[in-house]
Chains A and B, each alone.
Chain A
Amino acid sequence: MSQETESGPAVPAESDAAAAPRAKKGGAAPRSNARALEARRRFIRTAVMSTGVVGAGLAGYLPVAAQADNPRLRPPGALDENDFLSSCIKCGQCVQVCPVEAIVLGDITDGFGLGVPHIDSRKQACDFSCDAVQCILACPTGSLVYRKPDFLKIRPGAELAHKPVLKAKANDPEPTLNLIERAGLARLSRPEACLATQGKGFKGPARGADFTGQMRYMDVDRWAPIPVADHPYERDLCDLCVTECPIQDAIRLEVTEAADGSKRGIPVVMEQCVGCGVCEMICPVEPTAIVVDSRAVWEGEA
C-alpha cells in the first residue's frame, strides 16, 4: 500500500499538473484556462492516438494486397481467400488437430492474415492422414467447410469432378474425402529438373536424413505418421510424386521407352488433384520440380 501512496497522482487529477505552471502566469481565470488548455491537449492527443491505432489496423491490408497474386495455400475446405480471412477467428484449433502438424498460423507480416492458418507444403504437406479432414471438423466459424453456404459461389474450375477417393481408404466402405473444391493445383514447375523426365531413378530418404516432414504410410501404420526421413525409397525411375500422392487419379506418370530400352517419364497432373501438396513435399529435387499453386483452378490437362 505504501508504494501506491508514494507514487504520486496516479488518479486522473484532470488538470492539476497543468494548472500549476499556468496559474503563475496569472490572467483572469487561470485555473479554468489551464483546464481548457489541458482538455484541448488531451483531445488532440486522443485524436492522434486513435488515428494511429486505426491506421495501424488498416495497414494490415497491405500484405493482403501484396499476396493477392500469390496467395498462401490454405487448409482443405477453406473458403475463397477474402472470405477465409474474414470468417477465420484466428484460434488455431485446426493446427491442434492436424496429425502431421501441417498447418501453421500467419504472423503479423501477413497483415489481416495474422493468426490465419496456412500450409507450407514443401516443409510439411497435408497428406490427409487424419482421413476425415479433421481441420474442417475443428473449425468453429465455418472458415473450413465441407460445403460452402449457398451465398458463396464456387469459382469455375475449383470444383472437383467427383469427391476425391483417398487411396488409404480405398478398401473402406466410404473411400472418399468429403471435399467438393480443390485448395490448389499441382504443377510441374521445373520439368527439366524432374528426375523422371531425365530418366533418373532415386534411392534413399526423399528429402535427406535431416528432413522433419512426416507422412502416413499404410504399410507402416495407418494411424501413426512417421518421419519421411525414416522411410527411404528405391526407384529405377523416380515416381515419388505419383506413388505418394494420397488421392486417386490425381497424378500419373507417362512413361516413354526409347529404342535402347531406357525409360523416361513425365508426371501429369489430373483433374482430381486437390492441391494437398504431398508431391511438392516429397519431390527429391532441390528446389522442388513440382509445386502446388494455391487457389489455381482446373483448365484442362497441361
Chain B
Amino acid sequence: MKGRFLEQIMLMLGQAPKKPVEFTPEAQKIHKMKRLTKDDFEAMKKHVRDHALEKNTWRNRRWTVLILVNILFTFSFWLDIQILEGALTASRFVGFHLIDLNSALQVMLAHKHIIVNLFIGTATVFLLWAALGGRSFCSWVCPYHLVAELFEKLHLKLVEKKLVTDHEFHRGARTVMWVLFSLLAIVTGFTVFETLSPTGILSRALIYGPSLALGWVALLLVFEVVYSRRAWCRYVCPIGLTYGAVGVISPVRVVYDLNHCFHEGDCRKVCLVPHVLEVVIKGRSPDVKVPIGPDCTRCGLCVDTCPSGALKFEVKGLNKLL
C-alpha cells in the first residue's frame, strides 16, 4: 500500500495504471481462495447476480443535489430570493463569498493581484471541497456533467448499434492542458480557459438566459456522442484536475472491498474515470480494503451498479468516531 498515494496522483495526471507489486498477506489469502474455490465462486457470483437489485440510489441523490444547487443559483436571481447569488464561477451564499477554484486560479494568474474577497472565497471553497471529496464538485454540482451524462447514454446506444466507436485519448492531455491554460493566463493576461469552459457557460445560461456560447457546448456534446465518450470531462477539463488535486486529501471517498468482489467489471463500464477502478480487476487488489484515488468523482455509479456491494462510500475517520 505504500506509495499508492503518490501512484494515484500520477494516475490522475495521466499515467497508465500499474499492477501492484506488493500485496498484504490478507489480500493474498483472498486472491488465493478465489482461485482455489472456483466452482463455489462462480455459483456465488451467479446467485448474487440473480438477486441483485437494479438500483440508482446514489445517481438519484446526486442528480437531485446537482439540480437543486443549479436551481438555487437560478432562483436566487429570478425570484430575487438572494440565497446563492452569482454563477458557479463565483457567488455569495447568504453573503459569504464562494469562488470556483479553477476560475480563481485563472483570474489570479492572469491578473496577478488577489484582493481579500477573492482569497476568502477561494479558501472557503477549497475547504468545502477538501471536506466533500474534491472532484465530487464535478458529478454533484457541474451542470455540464449532468448534460454530458445524458448524452453519454445516447453515445452508448449508438456504440451498441455499432454506429459509432469510442476513440480514446491519452489522459495526460488534461494535465498538459491544465499547465498550458495556466501558462497562457500568466503570459497573455487573459483567462483563456474561461472562454471555453462549458461549466461557466451553462451555469451563466441557466441564470442569465441562453447565449450563443451554448453552441460551443452543443459542439462538445456532439463530439462526445459521435467520436469520444465523455471526452471533455475525461481528457480536457482542467477544472476536474484542480478539484482532483483538492480531493487528494479528502476523507470522502469510495472504498473497494476485495471480499465482496466477483470481478465482473460492471463498475468499470459505468465509470467516467475507469482507471481509478483498476484495482477491481481480478488479482490486482493490493489489500482487502482499498480507497479509490483522487481522480474519482464520487458519483456513486459504481456503488449503485455493483451487484455484491464491494464498492461503498466512506468517510475516513468517521467509522472510528462512531
Contacts and interface: CB of A to CB of B under 8 A. Distances in A.
A11 B229 CA distance: 10
Interface centre among B157, B213, B229 (most CB of A within 10 A): B213
Contact of A108 (B92, B172, B215): B215
A86 B185 CA distance: 8
Contacts of B85: 93, 96, 138
Interface string A138-166: 10111000000101000000000000000
Contacts of B172: 46
B226 interface: no
Interface of chain A: mostly helix, strand, loop or mixed: helix
B192 A50 contact: no
Given A1-B54, A90-B200, A105-B204, A111 B107 contact: no
Contact of B268 (A7, A11, A95): A11
Contacts of B134: none
B166 A86 contact: no
Nearest to B229: A10
A208 B213 CA distance: 33
B180 interface: yes
Contacts of A71: none
Interface in B174-222: 176-177, 180-181, 184-185, 188-196, 200-201, 204, 207-208, 211-213, 215-216
B168 interface: yes
Contacts of B190: 60-61, 64, 82, 85-86, 112
Interface stretch (B30-38, B139-147, B269-277, B287-295): B269-277
A90 B305 contact: no
Interface residues of B, number: 74
Nearest to A14: B168
Interface centre among A17, A53, A64, A85 (most CB of B within 10 A): A53
B213 A108 contact: yes
B107 A112 contact: no
B208 A95 contact: yes
A54 B180 CA distance: 8
Contacts of B253: none
Nearest to B217: A108
Contact residues on A (Cβ < 8 Å of other chain), bracket? 35 or more
B266 interface: yes
A1 B213 contact: no
A-B residue pairs, 8 tightest by C-beta: A91-B90, A108-B213, A86-B110, A60-B195, A142-B115, A87-B111, A46-B170, A91-B86
Interface of B: 52, 54, 76-77, 85-87, 89-92, 97, 99-100, 103-104, 107, 110-111, 113, 115, 117-118, 121, 156-157, 159-160, 165-170, 172-173, 176-177, 180-181, 184-185, 188-196, 200-201, 204, 207-208, 211-213, 215-216, 229, 231, 235-236, 265-266, 268-270, 274-275, 305, 307
28 contacts: A4-B269, A7-B156, A46-B172, A46-B173, A50-B176, A53-B177, A54-B177, A56-B216, A60-B192, A60-B196, A64-B190, A82-B189, A82-B190, A86-B190, A87-B107, A89-B89, A89-B103, A89-B104, A91-B103, A92-B208, A107-B211, A114-B213, A115-B89, A115-B194, A141-B90, A142-B117, A149-B113, A151-B113
Given A89-B89, A107-B212, 9 more contacts: A11-B274, A12-B275, A46-B170, A57-B184, A60-B192, A86-B107, A90-B103, A115-B89, A151-B113
